[in-house]
Chains A and B, each alone.
Chain A
């Protein structure tokens, strides 16, 4: 156990100094902490923050691996020289394009976490472990790395550290990062050129390739080139890790089974999206919207297909369920999730400038989550007060 003892010695050496939290974090990241509590309540659960975070990361790894293969697969498919999905060629593109995104996301984010821990003199918090994995999965594959670094800096500092660090943030840090990228560098975050590796640099040349997403095609009332099974299995262009609905469903089951993710939020988000989709279908069926309208394409999508296109499922499973920024009460979770799904589809259909509104909807509901909780708790108090009142006078 050379590493363990040398880490332990390093930690002892820096004990009491400003750098103590940084070395402490390295030590406990790799090994169980060797301290035991001396007094007060002794907590024996193994479900600490680190374990929770690792569970979510395990649920995300399949999406990441699929995203790496898909990055290469879409690249070669768009070039006109398709390769097998599970081929070395496809994976290689994924390795050189996706892994740097992961490395930058973790490198920059953890550096800031360490910096703040050292300045503020508290332990390094594990909160960034999941954020760092989510971020590369929700950005386009060709995003320049320096933009990601700037956005991660912004998201971690403004989205989290100014509120007091892990557990105190109002907004989901991963989505704050994505929102920053979306508004700061829109040419790299939307349109039909960014979703497939190589499309940006070829734009305007004779061998230009297009990687229009399904949402983009619908929004422009053009035909969609992908079959339903492609959408379900995820062989479509999109952000790195959100295309495979199958793997997201596996991840959701895993999170629900381990009781890390709230099934209330996941289910109610899906129901909210379906309800909004049904309303739009009804509007089309009633003949209020015809083929000449620019909203026709997305409004006439069968309501259940909204779940297969875009990132609504990914958002529902991995983003909306963030225990810090979601509503805390059970009834509140259902309202919170329902509104996320509802608003996501609303933005998707009515705002062609933001073809995918899931991240905006979740950020909006993050802001309203405390309000929802407040009214749920007040409602409960009121009901019990009524019960208290004497039945007979």
Chain B
């Protein structure tokens, strides 16, 4: 561990487990509900947020001492917006179909509470390297949940994973469908994402009871 000291490692591992932005802090729920019907969209969203939050944290941390605190929110918004536009343009150029599918939700990364939360809570008070690690860590914690939810919703809702028919063909009646299995349409609706997130929270808090608030 030459690169990362013990304290720095915690910056990345904490948000993955016991301080997860979605399941513990319950931030960034809107996008977790909206775009997790498919695994691919979840992965792209996770990568985008990792990029935006990692870089954004570094930028904010670099300018934290020259930024007047009265206008800091507007400056932070400008930074995120610039990064999000970058992501949006890249998606439009190289993955047009996907970008149409994600529609406004790429733009809405700007309003993702996790990002502003990390700027305010961490980047304003720490150096660039540690802010970078914190940003990556929190975005990874967010992304992991997104991918888990996306995995179950796509598998049970459409019977596919990343577009591949892993359970067989529902029209040709092959694989599981030959036995009368059918896709669960409820999984494709947003309420089910909330319930899946709830189940993850349930599992996590039963394993670590110290997370349970009164």
Contacts and interface: CB of A to CB of B under 8 A. Distances in A.
Interface stretch (A91-99, A110-118, A183-191): A183-191
Contact of B184 (A144, A158, A184): A184
A158 B189 CA distance: 16
A146 B185 contact: no
A147 B182 contact: yes
B180 A184 contact: no
A158 B185 contact: no
A158 B182 contact: no
B182 A162 contact: no
A147 B156 CA distance: 13
B185 A186 contact: yes
Contact of B185 (A144, A150, A162, A183): A183
Interface string A230-266: 0000000000000000000000000000000000000
Contact of B186 (A162, A180, A187, A188): A180
Among A150, A162, A180, A184, chain B packs the most CB atoms within 10 A around the CB of A184
Nearest to A146: B180
Given A158-B195, A162-B202, A144 B186 contact: no
Nearest to B184: A184
B185 A184 contact: yes
B197 interface: no
B177 to A, nearest CB: 12
Contacts of A186: 185
A147 B185 CA distance: 12
A236 B185 CA distance: 29
Nearest to A186: B185
Contacts of A146: 180-181
Interface of A is mostly: helix
Report the interface size class on chain A: 10 to 19
Nearest to B187: A184
Contacts of B195: 158
Contacts of A147: 182
A162 B186 CA distance: 19
Contacts of B187: 184
Contacts of A183: 185-186, 189
A162 B181 CA distance: 27
A13 to B, nearest CB: 29
Contacts of B185: 183-186
Interface in A157-186: 158, 162, 180, 183-186
A183 B202 CA distance: 23
Interface string B165-198: 0000000000000001110111101000001001
A185 B157 CA distance: 10
Given A147-B182, A187-B182, A188-B182, 8 more contacts: A146-B180, A150-B184, A162-B198, A183-B185, A183-B186, A184-B184, A185-B182, A186-B185
11 contacts: A144-B180, A146-B180, A147-B182, A162-B198, A183-B185, A183-B189, A184-B184, A184-B185, A184-B186, A185-B184, A185-B185
Interface of B: 180-182, 184-187, 189, 195, 198, 202
Q: A-B pairs with the 6 shortest C-beta distances?
A: A184-B186, A183-B186, A184-B184, A184-B185, A144-B180, A186-B185
